[in-house]
Structure 1
């Protein structure tokens, strides 16, 4: 764990400040839950807090308390720039490096004259003045809870804060099933429920709000599934044409890679998604056991994340990324075979 400048930050925040909170590009449940949850807390402390995200986030997160007041940098650029320029400090939540917000927003943040606070659980964070980093914690939302706890303010957590933080922890732990989910995580979840988080409602809003097109897209993805038993590996592909055919919306591919990992005998899974807007192949990796997809992605696909969950990107076609991926696997065959007892 890295806890840097915490006492100085407490002193800085002892008087009302103008604060901006930023999540990573293509925000997920943890990014939205942590930014909105912390926004509600800081507002209760007397600060003016504004959430700015780089781009659109999934429709199944738009119900989160405070979501309607969030600025999108790509769409509401003037409002976002105004909020950033007027702020006394910026919180960076659920990402470890400025490039994770996208090129345009990165350039804006690199010119920012004031200080950053980073609260994040990804490996190899950039160095900023104030930092709370812990790669052992399952979700940034849990870190926000613990940040509030460090300030002796757990009594300030209300239903809105509890709902946001519960959502982020639930989504980043795969509904509390990943290895990073600890007994402390469950104790925090219990407290969030006691403080007003309606666990059944949250789960329904996130996981049981599928469009017809999203389910058809999932069917297409599963029909594209390929298994490489010699490497205990499986992967899924989705082309731009397939996405368009089923009226793809932001968030529709969230969690699809986990279906590949759920196969018996598989310990390494990937999904390759063509993204014409960014001119890349977006990649998500998942693993079981000791095989680090974080290191694999850093080494070969300009990405990173956690040991068992990481992302990356590839400049080329779907066919080319599949060829590259398959060519890499023999190098890792021994690691894959001893990674996990099946």
Structure 2
């Protein structure tokens, strides 16, 4: 957490005359949107206005959150997003650890911005910013935003809008509170969020009970050909571009697919490979159990990273070559 001197300095920055922008990473997920909107609503409670900017669009199943439709999508509103970042006095950097993680458009804008930059993030090896709150042991940036509110001594400002957003971020990034990094503190905070208006049943239904027909077709496809290697310890799932097109893929349709590999008895790692819809590379998602470090594996081999048990990457070969190379590389790992 920020020390007392930093908290004092931050309080001096969070004043009405300063223009505040909140930015999250490319391909925003539940924690990215939940933490960003949760912080926005908290600042609103303090009488402050803030713009939330995302590099590209986010899944429809997250757009139920309060003021999600006011989020500025830089891909669609480049001029508005660029001017907001250029004119900002304060920039919050949420749920990513380095400017380039916000993409080729927004990343350079962050680097050139004159604003004071405040990082709140739980990924490994963060870049340097004016203020850095980094903790890889915390399962969700949304939980860290709540800790930030606590450090400011303003928990009484947490209302239903804040609670809904932060609960969503924590729920999604902990895989429904099942990942190993989910702690007693995480549960205590979610209890406080419920006390302040978050409705677990409504949030779960709005976020996860939103399957499209295309998603179910794609899920049936990958589950029908799932492959297990390395003596049953590694599951492989994959989708090709023409399959995505065939079933009318929509953004967010493959969210959580990688987790199905871990549901197989005896697996320690699940890897999901998907051809990008428009460019010639393969997107990769890794998940693992216990102390199997897919973050370092992804950094070493697939130009990626993330957390010990959840990471992503990409590969510039065909999907067939990517999977074959993965099989060779994973055989060399000990777990």
TM-score, normalised with respect to structure 2? 0.97
SS in 2 for 1:234: strand
Counterpart check, 1:132 vs 2:124: no
1:159 corresponds to = 160
- Any idea what the Cα deviations from partners look like across 1:23-72, whole Å, max 9, x if unmatched? 10110000000000000111221222000000010000011101111100
Counterpart check, 1:294 vs 2:288: no
Q: Is the 8 A contact 2:286 2:310 kept in 1?
A: yes
Give 4+ residue runs of structure 1 displaced > 4 Å after superposition. Answer: 1-4
4-13 or 56-65, which deviates more: 4-13
2:177 corresponds to = 176
1:339 corresponds to = none
Deviation at 1:261, TM superposition (A): 1.0
2:327 corresponds to = 326
Q: Which runs of 5+ in 1 are unaligned?
A: 337-342
SS in 2 for 1:102: helix
Deviation at 1:79, TM superposition (A): 1.3
Deviation at 1:143, TM superposition (A): 0.3
Aligned equivalents of 1:16 and 1:204: distance in 2?
39
Aligned equivalents of 1:176 and 1:329: distance in 2?
28
Aligned equivalents of 1:204 and 1:235: distance in 2?
28
SS in 1 for 2:231: helix
Aligned equivalents of 2:220 and 2:232: distance in 1?
25
Deviation at 1:176, TM superposition (A): 0.5
Deviation at 1:289, TM superposition (A): 1.4
1:39 corresponds to = 40
Counterpart check, 1:23 vs 2:24: yes
2:275 corresponds to = 274
Q: Which runs of 5+ in 2 are unaligned?
A: none
Q: Is the 8 A contact 1:166 1:192 kept in 2?
A: yes
Aligned equivalents of 1:209 and 1:317: distance in 2?
31
SS in 1 for 2:222: helix
1:340 corresponds to = none
- Any idea what the Cα deviations from partners look like across 1:66-88, whole Å, max 9, x if unmatched? 11111000111111112112211
Q: Is the 8 A contact 2:41 2:161 kept in 1?
A: yes
1:244 corresponds to = 245
83-92 or 127-136, which deviates more: 83-92
Tell me how many residue pairs correspond in the alignment: 334
- Any idea what the Cα deviations from partners look like across 1:168-210, whole Å, max 9, x if unmatched? 0000001111111111111111110110001100000111011
Aligned equivalents of 1:2 and 1:115: distance in 2?
15
SS in 1 for 2:332: helix
Aligned equivalents of 2:222 and 2:316: distance in 1?
21
1:216 corresponds to = 217
Deviation at 1:106, TM superposition (A): 1.2
2:205 corresponds to = 204
Aligned equivalents of 1:69 and 1:266: distance in 2?
41
Counterpart check, 1:55 vs 2:51: no
1:315 corresponds to = 316
Deviation at 1:276, TM superposition (A): 3.6
Query: Counterparts in 2 of 1:140-151, with a 5 A limit?
Result: 140-151=141-152
- Any idea what the Cα deviations from partners look like across 1:215-267, whole Å, max 9, x if unmatched? 11111121231110426111101111111111111111111000011100100
